[in-house]
Amino acid sequence: MEPVVVVAVLSVVLGALIAFIFFRNYLLKQRSEVQTIAKPELHSEPKKQSKPPQSISKKSHPKSHSHASDKDSNKRHHPLDLNTLKGHADSVAGLCFSPDGHNLATACADGVVRVYKLEDASSKSFKFLRINLPAGGHPLAVAFSDDAYSIVVASQAMSGCSLYMYQEERPKTTNDPKQQTKLPLPQIKWEHHKIHDKQEILTLTGATASYGTGDGSTIIASCAEGTDIILWHGRTGKVLGHVDTNQLKNNMATISPNGRFLAAAAFTADVKVWEIVYSKDGAVKEVVKAMQLKGHKENTGQRIHFTIYKVFSLLFMSAVTWLCFSPNSEQIITASKDGSIRIWNINVRYHLDEDPKTLKVFQIPLHDSSGSALHYDRLSLSPDGKILATTHGDITWITWSPKPIPLGNERVVVLATASVDKKVKLWLAPPVNSS
């Protein structure tokens, strides 16, 4: 028995030694990888010395196409690349054009909201309002309210999420050129704190209540990373409605252009749509469930067969990542992790249990190195409904100008994109064949 005991003891000791060496090498490797990933941050572009903090200021912004250096002139630009809005000190998380298209608001992780005055898309400099949020707040998203002088900002702080509505005084007409160049300082008109149970706000979108008896005011939808969505009155900050998607986790939500429908993309393959019902006086009466878009499927080429995780894996691989409405509010376009885009007709009599119909299905032409299908992260449809802009990767937000904006002696429709590279770019809409 003693030799057996000796062998057993030696086996345990050797096993422990091998395990120690294995985990030591593994931890060293992980540590090395973390250090390797962190190195690029140490060599990032140094920040310029900033002026003393101000709540709001006016600055000019240099155009990206400046020929100040040979390096810039040697860069190749896409033929549709109009301009680059620099000046952000961190990743830009949100964008929004004003209803007239003349202002573009950006939400940056540096804690500042900037409202650019787009007098000419090809300008070498842009005036902008600099709005510093209350201490500790970081802007997540922005949405204009009733006009170009009112903007709603979603902010994240240690205590949770907040909404602020800033309103800029309309400039007074004067013959003094110096007075005309002064930009009035926006003031906070309303604010709400610790909303969405302190969960992060993913999207903030607005639409004009023009359907039926809607009074024409702006309705704002804030979508949290949990399952809840809140509707707000843009001008007063009053809560108009609250819905729960009951789909584990939201990806985004948006309101149709006419203010009739609210739709949400979440963790599952189904899209839920609610109708915003207006009373005779134009106010929001209630928000009721209208329909559900069913059709996206799990990616059968990537099924996971582990029993415990199978259901959640299939749900994850079929989740709808983004959606957008058509300009007439009668269609919805959805992008899913099943590798497809679907166009839906929602102009149906859902009160009579008529289901929305799939009009067309497109396979997303993106694949990874192993040949597996990739998905689009964001969608945005041009105001005329002819051009669908899509993103995959580091683009954090995309949005079209609702109306043509000045470009020299002409007016053009522009697509704005934000990214983790601290830049906001303006793109010219490509020509579209009439056929």
C-alpha span between 165 and 147 (Å, rounded):
12
Look at 16-20, 148-152, 171-175 and tell me which has the smallest mean pLDDT.
16-20
| Tokens at 122, concatenated | 């090809």
Asked if residue 220 lies in contact with residue 234, where contact means CB atoms within 8 angstroms, the answer is yes
The whole-number average pLDDT for the span 134-141 is 93
- CATH homologous superfamily of 76-169+184-428 equals YVTN repeat-like/Quinoprotein amine dehydrogenase (2.130.10.10)
Q: Does residue 300 register a pLDDT over 70?
A: no
Share of the chain above pLDDT 90, in %: 64
Strand stretches in 227-269, DSSP E: 228-233, 239-244, 250-255, 261-266
**Range of lowest pLDDT (146-160, 189-203, 251-265, 421-435):** 421-435
CB atoms within 10 A of CB 284: 21
The C-alpha atoms of residue 85 and residue 387 are separated, in whole angstroms, by 23
Q: Residue 296 — very low, low, confident or very high, per pLDDT cuts 50/70/90?
A: confident
Q: What is the DSSP letter of 351?
A: G
Each residue's pLDDT tens digit, 82-106: 999 988 999 999 999 999 999 999 9
Mean pLDDT in residue range 107-132: 93
Mean pLDDT of 135-157: 94
Contact 252, 241 (CB under 8 A): no
Average pLDDT score over residue span 242-267: 96
- Indicate whether 255 pLDDT > 50: yes
Cβ 422 vs Cβ 91: under 8 Å = yes
What would the pLDDT profile of 171-207 be if each residue is shown by its tens digit? 666 666 555 556 567 899 999 999 999 899 999 999 9
And the tokens for 103?
A: 């202002």
Given this model, what pLDDT does residue 297 score?
Answer: 78
Residue 334, pLDDT > 70, answer yes
Q: How many CA atoms lie within 13 A of 60 on its CB side?
A: 6
Of the chain, the percentage scoring pLDDT greater than 70 comes to 74
Q: Are 343 and 359 in contact (CB under 8 A)?
A: yes
- Find residue 81's DSSP bridge partners: 427
Average the pLDDT over each of 30-44, 273-287, 293-307, 409-423 and give the range with the smallest value: 30-44
H or E, element range at 178 = helix 177-181
Per-residue pLDDT at 176: 62
Q: How many residues does the chain have?
A: 435
As a whole number, mean pLDDT of residues 377-383 equals 97
Closest CA to 231 of 210, 215, 199, 253: 253
**Is it the case that residue 7 has pLDDT exceeding 80?**
no
- Name the pTM for this structure: 0.78
Average pLDDT over residues 346-351: 94
> Which of the residue ranges 175-184, 260-269, 277-286, 352-361 would you say has the lowest mean pLDDT?
175-184
**37-80 pLDDT, tens digit each:** 233 333 333 444 444 444 444 444 444 444 334 444 445 578 99
Q: How far apart are CA 204 and CA 252, in angstroms?
A: 9
pLDDT value, residue 298: 56
Q: What six digits make up the tokens of 203? A: 């999207």
The whole-chain average pLDDT of the chain stands at 82
Higher-pLDDT residue of 170, 288: 288
